[in-house]
Amino acid sequence: MPERLRPPDVADARDEPLVEERIADLATAVSAAQIDEHLVEVRRLGEDVRPQPPKRPRMQLEYPPAVEDRLALCSAQHEPRATARRLAARADAPAAGHAQVVSEQIAALEAQNEVLAHRFDPDEAAAVQATRVDSCLALRVRSLHLDALADEVLEMPRRAVERVTLWHVAPILAAASLTVPSMPDSAASRTRRDHALRIAATYPASAKVAAVVLGGSTARGDADRFSDLEIGVFWLDEPTDDERCAAIQRAGGDLEQLYPYDPAERAWFDDWKVGRRGGAPKTGISVDMVHVTTATVDWALEAALERHDPADAIQVLLAVLVDGVPLHGEDLLGRWRAAADYPPRLARAVVVAHAQIDHFWRFEAFRARDNPVLAYRAIVDVHERLLRTLLAVNRVYFFGFKSLNAVAARLDVAPPDLLGRIRRAYRGDLTEAERALAGLVEETYDIVERDVPGVDVERLRAILRYRRPLWD
């Protein structure tokens, strides 16, 4: 065959030792997919106010969720991969279909396809995992962690619910006691908490309801005029539509949408409003309610505590159990809370999934090209990674970033002036923002090295400090 028609002669990277290990049998660990991409969407379309794309694929997490003795491998000389967040590699990934690998998210900001030498072998494992829907990871708990604004553009409700008079709840309200965290207790929180007590009182009418919990900003005491009222209902058996509607009727609510059971998400969701302004329907406080079976809680506890699965959906549910305010079923919620003690190996899995900062060298390109859009998108990505990492260091389950003050209040261990440094990054010039961001990452790595054993922090630093050779 003429030489010009032959495939390029490129050495197989598996023939050379890298760092202190050989990776001949570990090619599947290269550029593994990120935890966030396996995430179920924890909100409906139109509610997300963060910079990520609103549509992301749902993918399967493999067990175990993370390599525990090191980070996922990268190519020679710490050549970074895409800034797409990473998952632990699985043991048997599919073979690569072609040699070219297109980066995703931040890496895609520079319109180039990079040809990776260790991908010319058609029998070698692919750099990314195969995708398929995994219903086990689809637990949508957006209604409990305040990561979505109230949805003001809803679909037509499947059925109408007439407004009815509140049933008698005085005995339950008299016995209820809400313990509010030591944060400022806002007027909006008190208003929503009063409604939450009345709503919770409607559910013990069903023997199938095991517990009711108040979540989000109302539970924390820092709700404002934009906040929804987030309530979780835990059922011993699957709730029927009639049971869900009856509870809303007893609470005097105006139904917006009663969502059917979503088998991929293991939950039911109700959107409705409570209270009326001037007697007009659907003018009250938005209620986001999630219904979950107790079996789903058992699954989430096992996934986090035994398999150390760092998926956001699991973490958010456990955050509700740990930080939510019990409204009914205090004994059961207390047992769940006691069981949900954050394990050190889960902290390591979360750090492995989120702490790696790739392609930091691109900030120079963003400045040279006068492209603040992509630069600030990259800054947001780094900040979110650092906050997730610091939550894990502090053994706090991820509960969303809607309130940075609430997140910072949970970080006993963190770089000094964390919130001030994050906020200033969006108010100054990009050169200073890049410098300050690099320092914040380095300080976070120092904390990880000290407090999370088993993480290869030197590798993290090498990837962060990598600078791509430039050619005119």
Instruction: Answer whether residue 224 is part of any domain.
Output: yes
Instruction: Report which of residues 315 and 17 the model is more confident about.
Output: 315
What's the whole-number mean pLDDT along residues 299-309?
97
Is the same domain home to 197 and 106? no
Instruction: Answer whether residue 14 is part of any domain.
Output: yes
Which pLDDT band holds residue 231 (cuts at 50, 70, 90)?
very high
Cα separation, 24 vs 251, in Å, equals 62
Structure-token match 């900040």, residue found: 383
Instruction: Answer whether residue 17 is part of any domain.
Output: yes
Does residue 249 register a pLDDT over 80? Answer: yes
Which pLDDT band holds residue 292 (cuts at 50, 70, 90)?
very high
Over the stretch 110-167, which tens digit does the pLDDT of each residue have? 333 333 333 333 333 443 333 333 333 333 344 344 333 333 333 333 333 333 323 3
Instruction: Answer whether residue 349 is part of any domain.
Output: no
Is the same domain home to 17 and 120? yes
Percent of the chain with pLDDT over 70: 61
Residues 6+ apart with CB under 8 A from 196: 214, 218, 229, 231, 327
Buried b (16+ CB within 10 A) or exposed e, 302-314: ebbbebbbbbbbb
What's the whole-number mean pLDDT along residues 262-291?
90
Is the same domain home to 154 and 97? no
Does residue 257 register a pLDDT over 70? Answer: yes
Which pLDDT band holds residue 47 (cuts at 50, 70, 90)?
very low
Over the stretch 428-447, which tens digit does the pLDDT of each residue have? 889 999 999 999 999 999 99
95-99, 209-213, 276-280, 334-338 — which is least confidently predicted? 95-99
- Residue 9: predicted pLDDT: 59
Q: Among 382, 395, 388, which Cα is nearest to 440's?
A: 382
Is the same domain home to 232 and 305? yes
Opening angle at CA 137, ends 136 and 143, nearest 5: 115
Q: What is the mean pLDDT of the chain?
A: 73
Is the same domain home to 247 and 295? yes
Backbone angles phi, psi at 151, to 5 degrees: -85, 110
Is the same domain home to 373 and 325? no
Over the stretch 313-341, which tens digit does the pLDDT of each residue have? 899 999 999 999 999 999 999 999 999 99
Instruction: Answer whether residue 220 is part of any domain.
Output: yes
Over the stretch 192-224, which tens digit does the pLDDT of each residue have? 999 999 999 998 888 899 999 999 999 999 999
What's the whole-number mean pLDDT along residues 245-269?
89
Q: How far is CA 19 from the centre of its chain?
A: 32
Does residue 281 register a pLDDT over 80? Answer: yes
List the CATH number of the domain containing 305: 3.30.460.10
Instruction: Report which of residues 19 and 5 the model is more confident about.
Output: 5
Is the same domain home to 174 and 31? no
- Residue 1: predicted pLDDT: 57
Among 341, 374, 389, the domain-final residue is 341
Is the same domain home to 364 and 452? yes
Does residue 85 register a pLDDT over 80? Answer: no
Number of Cβ atoms within 10 Å of the Cβ of 75: 18
Among 93, 116, 133, the domain-final residue is 133
Domain count of the chain?
3
- Residue 236: predicted pLDDT: 97
pTM comes to 0.64
Is the same domain home to 204 and 318? yes
Q: Which domain holds residue 235?
A: 139-341
Among 133, 156, 186, the domain-final residue is 133
Opening angle at CA 371, ends 367 and 376, nearest 5: 90
What's the whole-number mean pLDDT along residues 394-409?
96
- Residue 245: predicted pLDDT: 93
Does residue 68 register a pLDDT over 60? Answer: no
Is the same domain home to 180 and 165? yes
Beta bridge pairs of residue 212: 233, 328
Is the same domain home to 97 and 79? yes
- Residue 265: predicted pLDDT: 72
Q: Among 139, 63, 132, which Cα is nearest to 295's?
A: 139
Instruction: Answer whether residue 169 is part of any domain.
Output: yes
Instruction: Answer whether residue 350 is part of any domain.
Output: no
What's the whole-number mean pLDDT along residues 173-185?
48
Does residue 54 register a pLDDT over 60? Answer: no
Which pLDDT band holds residue 266 (cuts at 50, 70, 90)?
confident
Q: How far is CA 83 from the centre of its chain?
A: 16
SS3 41: coil
Instruction: Answer whether residue 348 is part of any domain.
Output: no
Is the same domain home to 159 and 291? yes
